Amino acid sequence: MVFKTQLFNLMEVAMDGSALRHKVISNNIANFNTPGYKKSEVSFQGALAQKLASLEEQGNKTLSNEELRESVIKVHKVQDTSLRNDENNVDVDIESTHLVQNNLYYDGLTRLLSSQIGILRNSINEGRR
């Protein structure tokens, strides 16, 4: 992308985190009947907000997407719970709710990105007149 700004980097990493969360939740749902399966979770939103605040304090230093991804997107197994006798801890209703929430979050990010690109496009077109 020609206009690679910190905002675009942050949105891209947030979309990557959301896409990974979708895969992880889908995998949890697919394994809800697997004995002994422990669900996984993806966390990134809180860490991304902290990273943004930290970057603002440092004078908006720009990090690469890879640096951002590695520092904020984390996948972890939830080992400390068990819902059934077979030690599986996946609740399909909760996972389905998380999937819907994640879809809404991703949709919001795509709309924000589209809006930002529209602003850039409008600025470029106005400059041609």
pLDDT in tens, 16-45: 999 999 999 999 999 999 999 999 999 998
3-state SS class at 3: coil
pLDDT in tens, 29-86: 999 999 999 999 999 988 888 877 777 777 656 667 787 788 889 999 999 877 788 9
DSSP lists the bridge partners of residue 40 as: 77
Confidence of residue 105 (pLDDT cuts 50, 70, 90): very high
**Token representation of residue 35:** 């004995």
Residues 29, 34, 105: CA angle, nearest 5 degrees: 15
The answer to whether residues 60 and 4 touch, using CB atoms and an 8 Å cutoff, is: no
The answer to whether residues 50 and 111 touch, using CB atoms and an 8 Å cutoff, is: no
Buried b / exposed e over 82-101, threshold 16 CB at 10 Å, is eeeeeebbbbeeebeebbee
The answer to whether residues 69 and 13 touch, using CB atoms and an 8 Å cutoff, is: yes
